[in-house]
Structure 1
């Protein structure tokens, strides 16, 4: 029995919505995994005996591998097929999650987290690329709206889910279910992805810039490893030499990318984008904003659970007002405020976040270790509003003057530098937080020491946001049209795609 044209259209329509659900679930899994770990860190430390530098690498290792692999993952999808790379990524992410869940010691957990971040870098860039290949332009607005909802849900769900899974101590596994929960989701995504996702590639043959990849990873490691281990090792001379050497490596990267662009037009980083003033300023904003977030979220978790002695569930639910405020302000900024006030909205966001941090510092000092969750609600809501005013319209402001043919490369680079900034912020925690805590604390002194270290760290975040506010003056006063529809969460190559028949 042959299918009628109408049945064929319905089957195709059903397939692409199934494909959308699969890639959205994978994106949700990655977003949750980023936020779910922080809330379980004290439990991981108690169970495994991890040092503070190992704790940093459990979070920073993922961010570093994710950042270093994002552009590479997007380029590999263009070359070898987005479906293929997505399936490799989700399979690897699921395997790495299992290795995290069954890690026998902190070293294995750190290594597994680095692998997990690398696999996320293969999986995540394909999400919107698959959407572009699957949905016509007139339907993408609806799809991006759904994606924004998934991002918001992930931000709220991650800490709560991490708190519940840790608190329930399922089968005596302590923190391990926060990783093992990815297994059934990943396996289902892999099986359904093989069936429902259509393959697509870039129509123009591209080459992978392996030298560029190596230089990016080497430069980041030379900068971040000494920052993370420096305090623990007594700040040895090799650490300073390594950090100085990272600048040389990044200079070599710039020189090589110029050469690569002239030779075959296929560099890892499109350096011509930095000639656009708003883009260069936006990259600076994204990087420093990533640093601020990397510092805040880790020290906030350590402050609540180790300093104040709160349970994971109590700490997780404390963050709900923040997540709600971010989502609400993000929607308002895009729909109502940015069209009228442009760049001023982002600058107001930076100032609002600074105000929230100053309120938090005042309250932490006033109430000490007796502070209650409800007393944290005001600074968290103010901070959340400020963050929402920044994160939603920032990509539009950065891309407003970028030529359309480079929009995909620019989007990928924006996301990459934010992740790099996040990894740098996590590395700096050893300086701004642990640097003010004595190595030999009596149990009775832990609370006060962590509270003071938390306040010191927040002053650093205030300073970073002050820099962000000033750099924002280089952004265009008004954002460009149309770029704001692409969420600033994943790298996506916005160019024509060639459909390849599903095997």
Structure 2
């Protein structure tokens, strides 16, 4: 077996990290580990077993990414049924979603680093095994506390699994095939976003074997088990033997700062906003400051910080991170509040609520494809800014319709504002990452990508925590459904509009015309 050594970001203190690969480019001999053996195909034999195995490996990791994305979107639609079945409090409802996002955000960068050190295949298999086991715990949860704990575990395991997906793709496919592969990856992501809410609605409404909402988690079991078995056989191992060290202190400080902010927000209302909550929230920025100071020390000590602080000297990256964070807050508020509005406010079934979102999902997919292929190359950041304004216009239209029609509003009347909102969101989410990375040095592209994803999850968790203030804070008794939930929806939507206006303003920090990194440098490195 031959071994190829390539440079992979990020750079360490003593020079660039060297990445060991066990799968040479397709132009030479192709070797793919399969269990304890290896299959070899000679050049010019595209149909040889190794070539087919590469695509099977792709299907496995993409299925895992699809499973993770669906699990994020599938839960919201079933939350009212979970609350009724388990007798969950409003804070428990928030933690069922925010706990996953928080654990995911806290572990993403570390998960990528662990893959570099111990092997991407190994971490992928650990992640998907843990994710599957956590899904079983979610499906069997007898009370809200167990469900919240299982969701936090699920988010942590997703943080081990998901960063390996792009890294495995990167080391498995040669440069000339990656464009097609990442196109497929984008399509899978879009499919997950579209199908999640509807799948959750169907599984909840069908009440399979009298399990009510539990099949939304249990459906992961056969998928996860198949992923583990096939992944062991078809995925090739790769790692960076000289990768940077883990920054566990940085992980603890960053997570502590987030928890000190989100926990009081989530539990404060139910406890009449105690003093300890305000103390925690005030102290959170101080802990975050300690985190930054420690990261500077870590850079001087061994050059292996959790966050590469020099990235924030790039104006477009700093602005992009701010956009990602605030956009996560907006979506975190909207999707939870929207679900509660339709089911607990208007009294709709999960299936009716899920099908109402179909025009929104289609609009997001259509606008995303158009923005990347045609609009952004021509108009640059104006497309993203237009997206923020269009999405805000859709929210305003939604507020107006909800106020005008009240409890008698129908699904088809919601279609117009949802389509407008979907178009706006599609114009933002598809080109945002590439735009943010466009001025980042190539050697830091991997850590920058991880930080962008982490920030989005942090924003989502913060937005979910803020629903205690902007939504439940306007409901006197959350056990009384109907009009109180509708009125609270109006208030929360005004907050979403305000956040979108902030996003529009921050977008001026993005480059006017971003050249995709793939065109500038011949491809982006994914190093967790």
Instruction: State the TM-score bracket (shorter-chain normalisation).
Output: over 0.9
Q: Does 1:193 align with 2:205?
A: no
Q: Does 1:139 align with 2:171?
A: no
Q: What is the deviation of 1:482?
A: 3.0
Q: Does 1:268 align with 2:306?
A: yes
Among residues 442, 446, 458, which one is paired with 1:404 in the alignment?
Answer: 442
Structure 2: unaligned runs, 5 residues or longer: 1-38
Q: Does 1:237 align with 2:237?
A: no
| Equivalent residues in 2 for 1:252-263, closer than 5 Å | 252-263=290-301
Contact kept, 8 Å, 1:218 with 1:249, in 2: the verdict is: yes
| Equivalent residues in 2 for 1:30-109, closer than 5 Å | 30-109=68-147
Contact kept, 8 Å, 1:144 with 1:485, in 2: the verdict is: no
* Alignment correspondent of 1:472: 507
| Equivalent residues in 2 for 1:89-238, closer than 5 Å | 89-238=127-276
2:484 and 2:378 mapped to 1: Cα distance? 46
Q: What is the deviation of 1:483?
A: 4.7
* Alignment correspondent of 1:500: none
Q: What is the deviation of 1:262?
A: 1.3
1:457 and 1:204 mapped to 2: Cα distance? 48
Q: What is the RMSD of the two structures over their aligned residues, measured on CA atoms?
A: 1.7
* Alignment correspondent of 2:34: none
1:4 and 1:54 mapped to 2: Cα distance? 54
Point out the structure with the larger helix share: 1
Q: What is the deviation of 1:244?
A: 1.1
Pick closer, same or farther for the CA change 1:440–1:67 going to 2, 3 Å. closer
Pick closer, same or farther for the CA change 1:324–1:3 going to 2, 3 Å. closer
Q: What is the deviation of 1:440?
A: 6.7
Contact kept, 8 Å, 2:315 with 2:509, in 1: the verdict is: yes
2:431 and 2:361 mapped to 1: Cα distance? 17
Deviations 1:445-483 (A, max 9, x none): x32111110010000000000000001111110012335
Q: Does 1:380 align with 2:421?
A: no
* Alignment correspondent of 1:457: 492
* Alignment correspondent of 1:324: 362
Pick closer, same or farther for the CA change 1:230–1:138 going to 2, 3 Å. same
Per the normalisation by structure 2, the TM-score is 0.90
Q: What is the deviation of 1:7?
A: 6.3
Q: What is the deviation of 1:485?
A: 11
SS at match of 2:204: helix
SS at match of 2:238: strand
Contact kept, 8 Å, 1:399 with 1:480, in 2: the verdict is: no
SS at match of 1:206: coil
Contact kept, 8 Å, 1:40 with 1:163, in 2: the verdict is: yes
* Alignment correspondent of 2:383: 345
Contact kept, 8 Å, 2:103 with 2:156, in 1: the verdict is: yes
2:128 and 2:64 mapped to 1: Cα distance? 7
Q: What is the deviation of 1:494?
A: 2.5
* Alignment correspondent of 2:288: 250
SS at match of 1:439: coil
SS at match of 1:125: helix
Deviations 1:1-36 (A, max 9, x none): x98736697111111101000000000000000000
* Alignment correspondent of 2:11: none
Contact kept, 8 Å, 1:319 with 1:380, in 2: the verdict is: yes
Q: How many residues align?
A: 487
Q: What is the deviation of 1:245?
A: 1.1
Point out the structure with the larger strand share: 2
2:40 and 2:343 mapped to 1: Cα distance? 60
Pick closer, same or farther for the CA change 1:292–1:322 going to 2, 3 Å. same
Q: What is the deviation of 1:177?
A: 0.3
2:520 and 2:417 mapped to 1: Cα distance? 30
Structure 1: unaligned runs, 5 residues or longer: 487-491, 498-503
SS at match of 1:267: coil
